[in-house]
Amino acid sequence: MAQLSTSPTALLFSGQGSQYVGMGSSLVQSSESARQIFERADAILGYSLSDICFSGPEEVLRQTRYTQPALFVHEAAILAALAPVHCDAVAGHSLGEYSALYAAGVCSFDDTLRLVSLRGELMYAAGLAQPGTMAAIIGLDDADVETICRQAEGIVVAANYNSPGQVVISGERDAVRALLPHFKQAGARMVTELPVSGAFHSPLMESTRQELAEAISRISMTEPRCPVYMNASGRATTSVNEIRQLLIEQLTAPVRWTTILRSMYDDGIRRFIEIGPKNVLQGLVRRTLGSEVEVSGVDTYEDVQRLNHLFQAQ
């Protein structure tokens, strides 16, 4: 098996917002293993997820019910195309947590895809039933963001602690929009509403909890091959029972990504490889941990070849 190096290594899996039309196409064109992943996904789902990923249209791909399975399948296809990868830890941002669990051997591809598809459908429906939105706040301390959220006339919470000075808030649409000027007045460098279909990681997702919890309880899980750093706790676990519980909590709890990265660093991780479209997580690693760590990513088949050559040279 090819090894990454002596540097303790984590694989990080991208979440919603990183998707783009055309994702996965180069993998399928050049890797038979990746092509089989997409074909299997189409058969399980009963529709052509491949067409949505490769050709769009964008307004369809960005619907949560399609975005979530698309991201998972793309990330599974990258893993299939890569040479065998040794890693010391895994984590995924929101939806990416499911890819991380698959990569660690906790769940089968079929079970993970069905779970992700259900999650996407439930969250899409919740967004229609209780319209919500999210917004990125850049340039304020976490505590300042939390204080302003508590002033909202309605539900607004901190949903993603992405890096120092970058927090995403989530909640009822009117309440979030009414609060945005307050963040600017408090000194935020940037306040941007995000193009999402619901208030993810907030109490507005509570309606999805029971059905997803039942689905999570039914699927087979095995102990992970390496520690999994979970969104809802920010800490590592190898306990299947804890993984099940934290997956359910993740629906309404914030993504503690800054805590995850700092916990990994404290536990000795020095190399971070993002698996998935674009490079959002790579930027968050650099902003959180600085220049003392190695950061790279794999999205296209060209990236796969580059990383495979690196493995072979070591």
Q: Residue-wise over 188-205: b if at least 16 C-beta within 10 A, else e? A: beebeebebbbbbbbbbb
> Tokens for 307?
């990383």
| 92 vs 11: CA distance, rounded Å | 8
- CA-CA-CA-CA dihedral for 107, 108, 110, 112, to nearest 10: 20
Which residues, 6+ apart, have CB-to-CB distance to 32 below 8 Å?
none
Catalytic residues: 94, 201
CA–CA separation, 298 vs 314, rounded Å?
18
Note whether 79 and 275 are within 8 A (CB). Answer: yes
Within 10 angstroms of residue 46's Cβ, the number of other Cβ atoms is 8
Do 136 and 166 meet the contact criterion of CB atoms below 8 Å apart? Answer: yes
CA distance linking residue 178 with residue 249, whole number of Å:
27
Q: What span, in angstroms and rounded, lies between the C-alpha atoms of 250 and 256?
A: 10
Contact yes or no for 138/161 (Cβ under 8 A): no
Token pair for residue 5?
């190096």
